Amino acid sequence: MMKFRAARHTKDLNRIIDFYGRVLGLKVLGDFKGHHDYNGAFLGIPGADWHLEFTESNISPVHYPDSDDLLVFYAESVEEFNKIKERFIRNRVRPETPKNPYWANNGITFTDPDGFRIVISVLRIVPKRLLPGRGGNSSGR
């Protein structure tokens, strides 16, 4: 079975590690320093078949976030969703209004230190048809 890694270059690796680690709750699974002039870290959930890689070097990233560029994380429980949301609020990371109204109805959106957006959703916990004010649809999400 394939494994998944999303890799992105950043201008401030320490801020990204803090955001995805301490605030979002991912764990640092590994890191490296001075590999072909790159430093990096792998963040994720131990034992999961995916992780995020962030790198930095002397060359600044040349990418621009778009409001539709999202990483979507599905909380395991309503309690976990609320704990994550509280960590963001406690760390003064304000929710954003998502460009796509689907995510306004199905999660909460935040922006990371590089300007990329993440969504925390409860859709995998509670079937959409059971959420108050959210009738089912056949979007397949």
The reported pTM is: 0.84
**Per-residue model confidence as pLDDT tens digits over 3-47:** 899 999 999 999 999 999 999 999 999 999 999 999 999 999 999
**Per-residue model confidence as pLDDT tens digits over 113-129:** 999 999 999 876 655 55
Give the β-pairing of 108-111 and 117-121. Answer: antiparallel
The class that CATH gives domain 70-130 is alpha beta
Q: What pLDDT is attached to residue 85?
A: 94
Intrachain domains 4-56 and 70-130 with the same fold: yes
DSSP 130: G
Domain ranges of the chain: 4-56, 70-130
CA 63 to mean position of chain CA atoms:
17
Report the CATH fold assignment for 4-56: 2,3-Dihydroxybiphenyl 1,2-Dioxygenase; domain 1 (3.10.180)
**Helix (H) or strand (E) segment spanning residue 42:** strand 38-44
C-beta separation of 100 from 117 below 8 A: no
Give me the residues paired with residue 55 across strands: 9, 40
3 state DSSP class of 73: strand
